[in-house]
Amino acid sequence: MLPRLYGYHLVFLGEPLLASLIESSLISHRVLINPHIHSNSADISGLRGSLEALPLRTDSVDVVVLSHTLENSSNPHEVLRESHRVLIPEGHLVITGFNPISMWGAWYASKKLMGSIARQGKMLSPNRIRDWLKLLNFQVVGGQMFYFRPPISHEGINQKLGFMEKWGEHCWPIFGGAYSLLAVKRVIPLTPIRTKWLPEKPIWQPAEGLPKPTTNVRNVKK
């Protein structure tokens, strides 16, 4: 997905450990923004800042990447609004996240219930993200569901379950463990409203309760 996107500036919002996702991008200027940690990569500039109040100019970024950012945020709506603000018209937004309606979603919910995972946000379904994007005048132009295998760390078992990926894409695509969405920022052009010429109104108006003049002065005989 990222190799097909072009521009001058790419911004990654979220955890530095996930920033390797943007290595496939052809955009040379890449910036990682995180509230706590700077980037340690030579290819990515690090910038400390709030994801809900980005230290960037409006309409200045070509591509924004949110990799599991919304589900880890206490205010995902504001993160989306800020992403929309800094993107140029027709700029691209890439979102990845875990699907709550999947085996991964069930695993995540159980871990969070037991206290093994302490995170601010929660898993968000791709349909909910689509609704939020629509309200911000984003147009979703691409998407994919993937990783249909259960959350098992054993490498050998994972390899044996590789067939589930092909089956999942065709038989149960909505139950993929993770998803990606590609959206474009659409801007409605402001068209000047043509003035409608109306008959000129009198500059005065009789006060309420007073009789209106009915006699034409020109018809009064001298």
Please indicate, yes or no, if residue 169 is contained in any of the structural domains. Answer: yes
Please give the average per-residue pLDDT across 141-146, as a whole number: 94
For 21-65, how does the pLDDT look when each residue is reduced to its tens digit (9 = 90+)? 888 899 989 999 988 876 656 677 888 899 999 999 999 999 999
Q: What is the DSSP letter of 61?
A: E
Q: What is the pLDDT of residue 193?
A: 54
Q: Whole domain around residue 78: which residue ranges? A: 2-187
- CATH code of the domain containing 176: 3.40.50.150
Please indicate, yes or no, if residue 159 is contained in any of the structural domains. Answer: yes
Q: Are 109 and 100 in contact (CB under 8 A)?
A: yes
Q: How many CB atoms lie within 10 A of CB 180?
A: 19
19 or 180, which is more confident: 180
Please indicate, yes or no, if residue 109 is contained in any of the structural domains. Answer: yes
45 or 81, which is more confident: 81
Q: What percent of the chain has pLDDT over 90?
A: 43
Number of domains in the chain: 1
Of 17-26, 108-117, 165-174, 182-191, the poorest mean pLDDT is in: 108-117
Q: What is the largest CA-CA distance in the chain?
A: 116
Please indicate, yes or no, if residue 139 is contained in any of the structural domains. Answer: yes
Please indicate, yes or no, if residue 196 is contained in any of the structural domains. Answer: no
Q: What is the pLDDT of residue 139?
A: 97
User: What is the pairing mode between strands 61-67 and 29-34?
Assistant: unpaired
Q: What percent of the chain has pLDDT over 70?
A: 77
Q: How many CB atoms lie within 10 A of CB 23?
A: 11
Please indicate, yes or no, if residue 214 is contained in any of the structural domains. Answer: no
| Residue-averaged pLDDT of the chain | 82
pLDDT at 196 over 90: no
131 or 41, which is more confident: 131
Q: Are 63 and 53 in contact (CB under 8 A)?
A: no
Taking the alpha carbons at both ends of the chain, their separation in whole angstroms is 91
Residue 54 in tokens = 């980005």
Q: What is the pLDDT of residue 62?
A: 97
